[in-house]
Amino acid sequence: MSKIEILNEVKTFLARKHGHFIAGKSYVDEHEARIDIINPATEECIATVADGSEASVALAAQSAHESFKNVWSKITPYERSLKLNKLADLVEANADELAQLETLSAGKLITIAQHLEVAQTIIFLRHFASCATKIEGKTIQPSLPSMQGEQYTAFTVRQPIGVVAGIVPWNFSLMIGAWKIGSALSTGCTIVVKPSEFTTLSVLRLAELAIEAGIPEGVINVVTGLGKTGQYLIDSPLIKKVSFTGSVSTGIRIGQQAMQNDLKRVSLELGGKNAAALLSDVNIDEILPVLIQSTFVHQGQVCAAPERIFVHQSKYDEFVAKASAVLASMPMGSPLDASNVFGPLSNKPHYEKVKHYLNLAREKGQIISGGEAVEGTGYFVKPALIKVDDCKDPLFIEETFGPLISVIPFEDEDSLVTMMNDSRFGLAASVWSNDMSKVFRLIPQIDAGSVWINMHTFLDPAVPFGGMKASGIGREFSDAYIDDYTELKSVMIRF
Ligand code: NDP
């Protein structure tokens, strides 16, 4: 067991007085309050960032607006593609620094920060770069009457919406920040990103790398701060679209605020209470490593991770015994130690929220294994398996976004589908079985934007991602995101 060394460039970066990132450089307003960035493994303050005021937000929006009008909307799609690819190169070249920043501020295991977050950020940026040159309209032949031999044709063009506000949660700041940046820049939009107050640093560093990549100043701006800073951004008349990833409650508030601002465009990627269904033929020993990894990656703080596990009654006891044993054996400790597979929760309010759910379960005698908060420094909680008898149990209804899974047996596929769909959420689900006839009958019945078979929590830039029901509006990735970042203009010609 050995912790990795913190890089000198990371130490230097942390020691800076961080401002917002506006018009290509750091902007510090000495009157703004400061927010402490706390390392969740040690509870030490590692840096401070500004709590963005309305005035700073206005400057950032203005900078993005001017860059949109004068620069970014004027360059060719190929140039946009080249610059996004260059940014991906620089993320690759600075991968260790970015991974350490994520680990220090989000408590993400260094292995996950390196091999998932930073690695995926590179892959996603390259995907968005490739989309820049593939934005298309279509030609249409209208059926209008021709009195004197005149003819008609029509075509559609997709035009960038303008300045996008990208509001990002704390669980994968760098990667989700890059999703917003890549989507906006590839379609010709500029952006103001508002990262979470807890995990701001990697996004600030990404914006600096963008300047090094030759992305003109003002195309990517970052304003730091609390939820209020996000509200200022949505209210800015220069912002034409809000792309939000976060909780359902905040998402609904943001959607309402955007609608009240002259129907500002909005896409929402929200939470889930994702189901995994283990059918009667599953081999528990075979699936358990993949299921546990998908469930507890980043301590379960993943929007698409399963929280409700439905196990066919014939396999229920075996699953509970074997899953409990695996959870108890997971090495937990410093996220800077590559031999650990479980780290701290990302921030204190979330730690308190997860402990609240665990206390509820403990009071009702539902905890099968794990769930103890670890004494001492840091926001550590042991991964928990919880028994639920009733689908109306709050633990089965509310998103906990933490390292706890609720498990319930089922008898047949009809009752399984009813229970899986008995949720306000519809982000993701999985079915585990080699009986493909059953699997293909289940897929269309499941209310979820993504359904995985014999896997869970895998995102790929070529595959659209987004939620049904209260889990969101819109789709990210593939070419599905393009509609959300562009306006469709129809042109009709008489000749
Ligand atoms: P929140 O909804 O609390 O916050 C998300 C972002 O919105 C943060 O930057 C937050 O700032 C900001 N914010 C808060 N209030 C407002 C407001 N009124 N107006 C504008 N911005 C505001 O989510 P969390 O950060 O706690 O993230 C966890 C949630 O995100 C979970 O529910 C999870 O499921 C969801 N999520 C969904 C994903 C998806 O793709 N579907 C992916 C990842 C997470 P601040 O941090 O300062 O409060």
Ligand 1 atom 34 nearest Cα:
271
Dihedral sign for Cα 262, 268, 271, 273, please: positive
pLDDT at residue 1 is higher than 70? no
Please state whether beta strands 428-432 and 450-453 pair in parallel, antiparallel, or not at all (unpaired). parallel
Please state whether beta strands 486-494 and 152-160 pair in parallel, antiparallel, or not at all (unpaired). antiparallel
Distance 197 CA to ligand 1 centre (A): 10
Taking residue 257's Cβ as centre, other Cβ atoms within 10 Å add up to 16
Distance 79 CA to ligand 1 centre (A): 32
The torsion of the CA quartet 253, 257, 260, 261, rounded to 10 degrees, works out to -160
Instruction: Return the best residue to mutate from 120, 170, 199 for the ligand 1 pocket (most ligand atoms within 8 A of CB).
Output: 170
Stretch 412-419: mean pLDDT: 97
Stretch 357-380: mean pLDDT: 96
Distance 275 CA to ligand 1 centre (A): 21
Query: Residue 70: exposed, middle, or buried by beta-carbon count in 10 A (0-12, 13-18, 19+)?
Result: exposed
CA angle 160, 205, 95 (to 5 degrees): 105
Instruction: Return the best residue to mutate from 196, 228, 354 for the ligand 1 pocket (most ligand atoms within 8 A of CB).
Output: 196
Amino acid at 38: I
Looking from the CA of residue 169, the nearest atom of ligand 1 is: 25
Pocket flag, ligand 1, residue 21 (CB < 6 Å): no
Sheet containing strand 239-245, strands side by side: 25-27, 20-22, 220-222, 190-194, 163-167, 239-245, 265-269, 472-473
Distance 450 CA to ligand 1 centre (A): 20
Three-state DSSP at 486 gives strand
Residues serving a catalytic function are 269, 303
Pocket flag, ligand 1, residue 170 (CB < 6 Å): yes
Pocket flag, ligand 1, residue 401 (CB < 6 Å): yes
Pocket flag, ligand 1, residue 271 (CB < 6 Å): yes
Picking from 165, 174, 124, the residue whose alpha carbon sits closest to that of residue 265 is 165
Ligand 1 atom 23 nearest Cα:
246
Pocket flag, ligand 1, residue 168 (CB < 6 Å): yes
Distance 271 CA to ligand 1 centre (A): 9
114 Rama sector, left if φ>0, alpha if ψ -120 to 50, beta otherwise: alpha
Distance 167 CA to ligand 1 centre (A): 7
Query: Residue 406: exposed, middle, or buried by beta-carbon count in 10 A (0-12, 13-18, 19+)?
Result: buried
Stretch 467-494: mean pLDDT: 98
Pocket flag, ligand 1, residue 231 (CB < 6 Å): yes
Stretch 391-417: mean pLDDT: 95
Domains of the chain: residue spans and CATH: 8-270+472-491 (3.40.605.10), 274-461 (3.40.309.10)
Residue 240, CA atoms < 13 Å, CB-side half-sphere: 19
Looking from the CA of residue 467, the nearest atom of ligand 1 is: 41
Distance 483 CA to ligand 1 centre (A): 23
495, 151 Cβ separation under 8 angstroms: yes
Instruction: Return the best residue to mutate from 51, 120, 168, 171 for the ligand 1 pocket (most ligand atoms within 8 A of CB).
Output: 171
Stretch 212-237: mean pLDDT: 98
How many helices and strands in the chain, by DSSP H and E?
A: 17, 22
Q: SS3 letters for 205-263?
A: HHHHHHHHCCCCCCCEEECCCCHHHHHHHHHCCCEEEEEEECCHHHHHHHHHHHHHCCC
In this prediction, residue 414 carries a pLDDT of 97
pLDDT tens for 70-128 read 999 999 999 999 999 999 999 999 999 999 999 999 999 999 999 999 999 999 999 99
Ligand 1 atom 12 nearest Cα:
227
In this prediction, residue 458 carries a pLDDT of 96
Q: How many angstroms separate the CA atoms of 468 and 477, rounded?
A: 16
Pocket flag, ligand 1, residue 230 (CB < 6 Å): yes
Q: How many angstroms separate the CA atoms of 135 and 406, rounded?
A: 43
pLDDT at residue 28 is higher than 90? yes
Residue ranges of the alpha helices (H) in 315-432?
316-328, 348-363, 394-397, 413-421
% the chain with pLDDT above 90:
98
Average pLDDT of the chain? 97
Pocket flag, ligand 1, residue 265 (CB < 6 Å): no
Ligand 1 atom 18 nearest Cα:
227
Q: How many angstroms separate the CA atoms of 59 and 276, rounded?
A: 46
Pocket flag, ligand 1, residue 464 (CB < 6 Å): no
pTM of the predicted structure, to 2 decimals: 0.97
pLDDT tens for 422-435 read 999 999 999 999 99
Amino acid at 323: A
235, 261 Cβ separation under 8 angstroms: yes
pLDDT tens for 255-314 read 999 999 999 999 999 999 999 999 999 999 999 999 999 999 999 999 999 999 999 999
Residue tagged 């896997």 (tokens): 455
Pocket flag, ligand 1, residue 347 (CB < 6 Å): no
In this prediction, residue 2 carries a pLDDT of 77
Token pair listed for 59: 């400057």
The torsion of the CA quartet 257, 260, 263, 268, rounded to 10 degrees, works out to 20
Pocket flag, ligand 1, residue 197 (CB < 6 Å): yes
Q: How many angstroms separate the CA atoms of 106 and 444, rounded?
A: 36
pLDDT at residue 333 is higher than 60? yes
What are the CB-based long-range contacts (under 8 Å, 24+) for 392-395? Answer: 393/366, 394/357, 394/360, 395/357, 395/360, 395/361, 395/366
